[in-house]
Amino acid sequence: DGGITQSPKYLFRKEGQNVTLSCEQNLNHDAMYWYRQDPGQGLRLIYYSQIVNDFQKGDIAEGYSVSREKKESFPLTVTSAQKNPTAFYLCASSIDSETGSYNEQFFGPGTRLTVL
């Protein structure tokens, strides 16, 4: 089955710790994205990557970092510099955000991060 997987489903972190959220896709999509969802707010874009070894900041990148060493994987690190990290984190992918006519983004099941 093709799809997007995120792990872990739930993550607890102490203040001052960095944590890494995993996102893997086997859809052969070029582009991958990270969004953050807070209660009562729309999803907000953190980082995105259109190609391996390249990524761009989204609207709320401060306190986060990413890497894209493989086409299938786009891990997100929430650093201690992120002031309000408790949220639901969603990873998505699309065929090609630039040239493809298929702009739909498909989402993983999400990771709920709680800072204790």
Partner 1 sequence: EDQVTQSPEALRLQEGESSSLNCSYTVSGLRGLFWYRQDPGKGPEFLFTLYSAGEEKEKERLKATLTKKESFLHITAPKPEDSATYLCAVQGGGADGLTFGKGTHLIIQP
Report the interface residues with partner 1, using CB under 8 A. 4, 6, 31, 33, 35, 40-45, 48, 50, 56, 58-59, 90, 97-98, 103-110, 112
Other Cβ atoms closer than 10 A to 103: 11
Closest approach of partner 1 to the CB of residue 16, in Å: 27
Comparison of 85 and 89: residue with beta carbon closer to partner 1: 89
DSSP 112: E
Contact 45, 35 (CB under 8 A): yes
Comparison of 20 and 109: residue with beta carbon closer to partner 1: 109
Contacts of 14 (CB under 8 A, 6+ apart): 115, 116
Closest approach of partner 1 to the CB of residue 61, in Å: 11
**Which residue reads 């607890």 in tokens?**
12
Closest approach of partner 1 to the CB of residue 33, in Å: 6
